Amino acid sequence: MKVIVDLNKCNDHGQCVYSAPDVFALNDRGELSFRDEARDLYVSGELDESLRDVLEEAADICPMQAIEIEG
């Protein structure tokens, strides 16, 4: 399972951080920290199945609907 974030859609709301703090974080400028690693599309490495519930919650609560779960 991977999580994919469309960084052009993402508006740095940080709602995902409450749902899945082990995956999402904000950097010290208040932006989604994946912006430090990718420009348009962030694709995670393979994530543990035990995270599925919290990732679904993060994807549901993202105001910009920028999070997809693959696999």
Partner 1 sequence: MAGVVVVGASLGGLRAADALARSGYGGGITLVGDEPHPPYNRPPLSKEALVDEQEFEAIRLRSSSKGGAVNLVTGLHAVSADLSRGLVFFSNGSEMAFEGLVAATGLRPRALPIPKPGAGVLVLRTYADLLRLRGELAGVRDVAIIGAGFIGCALAASLTQLGYSVSVIAPEDVPMLRPLGEELGGALLRHHSAQGIKFGLSRLPVTIEGDARPERVVCNDGSSFDAQLVIEAVGSATNTEWLEGNGLELSDGILCDERLSFGGQGRFLAVGDVARFPNLAFDAVPRRVEHWGIAVDTGRYAGKALGRLLTSGEAEPAFKPMPAFWSDQFELRIQSFGMPGLVTDPAAIRVLEGDLDGEVVVGYYREDTLVGVVLVGFVQSHLKYRAAVAESLAAAGTSS
Write out the residues near ligand SF4 by the rule CB under 6 A: 5, 10-16, 24, 32, 62-64, 66-67
Please work out the total of residues on this chain that contact partner 1, with binding judged by CB under 8 A: 20
Which residue blocks in 1-71 are alpha helix, DSSP H? 15-19, 52-61
Pairing of strands 67-70, 2-6: antiparallel
Nearer to partner 1, 15 or 41 (CB): 15
When CB distances are held under 5 to 8 angstroms depending on the partner's kind, the choice from ligand SF4, partner 1, none that residue 6 binds is: none
Give 29's contacts (C-beta < 8 A, 6+ positions apart).
none
Nearer to partner 1, 37 or 53 (CB): 53
DSSP one-letter code for 38: -
